[in-house]
Amino acid sequence: MPNPNQKTSTYKSIQMKRIIYLAAFAILLSACGGKEQSVESVISTNNIAKIKEKKAAIEKEQEVVTANLQMLKDALAELDTVKKIPLISTFLAKQEVFNHYVELQGNVTTKNLLTITPEMSGILKTVTVKEGQRVSKGQTLAILDDGGIGQELAQLQIQADLAKTTFERQERLWEQKIGSEMDFLQAKSNYNAQSKAINQLQQQLAKTVVKAPFSGVIDDVITEPGNVTAAGQTPLFLLVNLNRMYIETDVPESHISNIKKNKAVLVDIPVLNKEISTKVAQVGSYINPANRTFKIEVNVPNPDKTIKPNLTAKLKINDYTSENAVLIPQSIISENAKGQQYIYVLKNKENNHGEATRVIIKTGKTQDDLIEVLSGIEVGEEIIQEGARTVKNGQTVEVINS
One domain, residues 230 and 158: yes
Cα–Cα distance list, 288 to 104, 108, 248 (Å): 17, 21, 14
CATH of residue 340: 2.40.420.20
Give yes or no: residues 12 and 72 share one domain.
yes
Is the same domain home to 317 and 327?
no
User: Is the same domain home to 189 and 234?
Assistant: yes
Instruction: Return the closest-CA partner of residue 294 out of 260, 345, 338, 244.
Output: 260
Distance in angstroms (rounded) separating the CA atoms of residues 25 and 63: 10
What pLDDT is recorded for position 208?
A: 87
On whether both 131 and 117 belong to a single domain, the answer is yes
Integer-rounded Cα Rg, in Å, for the chain is 46
Name the residue range of residue 387's domain: 87-98+323-399
Q: Mark whether 176 and 209 lie in a shared domain.
A: yes
Report how far residue 118's alpha carbon sits from residue 130's, in angstroms, rounded to the nearest whole number: 17
Angstrom distance (rounded) from CA 340 to CA 366: 17
SS3 label, residue 249: strand
- Give the mean pLDDT per block of 10 residues along the chain (402 residues): 44 53 51 62 84 86 87 73 78 93 92 90 93 93 86 82 84 80 84 85 86 92 92 93 90 90 92 92 92 94 90 92 93 93 93 92 92 94 92 91 70
DSSP string computed for 315-333 = EEEEEEEEEEEEEEEGGG-
**Domain endpoint, select from 183, 218, 239:** 239
pLDDT at 11: 47
Is the pTM value of this prediction over 0.75? no
pLDDT tens digit sequence for 66-104:
888 888 877 776 666 556 788 999 999 999 999 999 999
Q: Are residues 39 and 55 in the same domain?
A: yes
Pair 271, 332 in one domain: no
Count up the domains in the chain and report the number.
4
134 & 233 share domain: yes
**Domain end among 294, 322, 350:** 322
- Say yes or no: 189 and 170 in one domain: yes
Question: DSSP characters for 170-183?
Answer: HHHHHHTT-S-HHH
